[in-house]
Amino acid sequence: MKHALKMCQWDEQDIMELIKLAKQMEEGSYENRRKQPYVVANLFYEPSTRTKSSFEMAQVKLGYKRIPFDVAHSSVQKGESLYDTVKTFEAIGVDALVIRHEQENYYKEWIDQVTIPIINGGDGCGQHPTQSLLDLYTIYESFGSFKGLKVGIAGDLRHSRVARSNVEILHRLGATIILASPEEWKDESLMQYGEYCSMDELCEVVDVLMLLRVQRERHVEQMHSNQANYLEVFGLTERRMSFLKRESIIMHPAPINRGVEIADQLVEHPKSRIFTQMKNGVFVRMALHEKIRLGGWK
């Protein structure tokens, strides 16, 4: 297997191999014996700060060469399809592509016709596997296991590729999933992995509180509550912080809507792992790149 598209493609052994490899990246103990330049390109059709910069930093640390790509100054503006752009990079000799695109499953129609590895940097409301991997790495750093953990995922579930990636793999790794969301953003398909409850109830029992960004750019429906109400009803307030267990941690994929999903003063609270997640993203993406470069999975 050469591509990295969905979390369901990996079993527990694959995940633990990546976590251990990411740890080697963080400790600086990984030895890269590559001699020939390995060339990658990052095709981001949606705005991104953390994911794109994190991939770029991972590639720099690994010594990869990068071919610049800017949608606004490419043949995309002349109507070129994503498939033709991918085949162009394949033809000129790029070794791997990282792609973020607003279309869910953007790769589905042509993935079997591409010979170079594709790493999914996020597909619409579909999947975000590298965010999920860095979330797993961050949880594993704090607890050393996934089995028996109670993970609460709260917020804009319907539009979240982070939630969609995380619930299945965390459930499969032995965690209990608990969900909280405004009625208009509930996703019934996630109920096969966990039950919904109120935000107060969720905060009282979880080991990991994973807050989701309110994704206004993907909303077609009117939000029933205003921003101030959202924080009070579904966000992490000072009051709810007092409900959390002593060892609980707070996570958020960012960018953060301060004062909406989380009270501003709690973003850098000792329980918060939000910036740790960003740091860990580099090591996880280094591990994923190297695993794929060395042949991927069976």
pLDDT in tens, 244-265: 999 999 999 999 999 999 999 9
Binding-site residues for L-aspartate: 78, 161, 213
> Distance from CA of residue 151 to its chain's centroid?
16
Mean pLDDT, residues 183-206 taken together:
94
Q: Give the pLDDT band of residue 102 (cuts 50, 70, 90).
A: very high
CATH class of the structural domain 7-127+278-294: alpha beta
**Structural contact between residues 237 and 262, judged by C-beta atoms closer than 8 angstroms:** no
pLDDT score, position 184: 87
- Alpha-carbon torsion angle 39, 285, 157, 246, nearest 10: -170
What does the pLDDT look like over 115-127, one tens digit per residue?
999 999 999 999 9
Confidence of residue 28 (pLDDT cuts 50, 70, 90): very high
Using CA atoms, how far apart are residues 250 and 9, in angstroms rounded to an integer?
27
pLDDT of residue 29: 93
Q: Do domains 7-127+278-294 and 130-273 have the same CATH topology?
A: yes
Architecture of domain 130-273 in this structure = 3-Layer(aba) Sandwich (3.40)
Beta-bridge partners for 66: 40
CB of 173 closer than 8 Å to CB of 147: yes
Q: How much is the average pLDDT of 1-16?
A: 93
CA 62/CA 57 separation, integer angstroms: 9
The answer on pLDDT for 217 being more than 80 is no
Predicted pLDDT at 31: 85
Q: How far apart are CA 151 and CA 202, in angstroms?
A: 9
Q: Is the dihedral of CA 100, 106, 110, 112 positive or negative?
A: positive
Domain residue limits, the chain: 7-127+278-294, 130-273
Q: What is the mean pLDDT of the chain?
A: 94
Detail the residues annotated as belonging to a binding site for carbamoyl phosphate: 50-51, 100, 128, 131, 254-255
Residue 226 above 70 pLDDT?
A: no
- The pLDDT value given to residue 33: 75
CA nearest 126: which of 171, 81, 165, 98?
165
Distance, in Å, from the CA atom of 288 to the CA atom of 161, rounded to the nearest integer, reads 19
pTM of the model: 0.93
Q: What is the pLDDT of residues 133-163, one digit of tens each?
A: 999 999 999 999 999 999 999 999 999 999 9
Which residues line the annotated binding site?
A: 50-51, 78, 100, 128, 131, 161, 213, 254-255
Q: Are 152 and 204 in contact (CB under 8 A)?
A: no
Residues 181-189, mean pLDDT to the nearest whole number: 91
Give the percent of the chain with pLDDT over 70: 95
CB 49 within 8 A of CB 255: yes
In angstroms, the first-to-last Cα distance of the chain is: 6
- Cβ atoms within 10 A of the Cβ of 73, count? 9
**Residue 297: pLDDT band with limits 50, 70, 90:** confident
3 state SS for the chain: CCCECCHHHCCHHHHHHHHHHHHHHHHCCCCCCCCCCCEEEEEECCCCCHHHHHHHHHHHHHCCEEECCCHHHCHHHHCCCHHHHHHHHHHCCCCEEEEEECCCCCCCCCHHHCCCCEEEEEECCCCCHHHHHHHHHHHHHHHCCCCCCEEEEECCCCCCHHHHHHHHHHHHCCCEEEEECCHHHCCHHHHHCEEECCHHHHHHHCCEEEECCCCHHHCCCCCCCCHHHHHHHHCECHHHHCCCCCCCEEECCCCCCECCCECHHHCCCCCECHHHHHHHHHHHHHHHHHHHHCCCCC
Average of per-residue pLDDT across 87-92: 97
* Res 36: pLDDT: 79
Tokens of 194: 């966990």
Report the alpha-carbon distance of residue 46 to residue 101 in Å, rounded. 6
Does residue 190 register a pLDDT over 80? yes
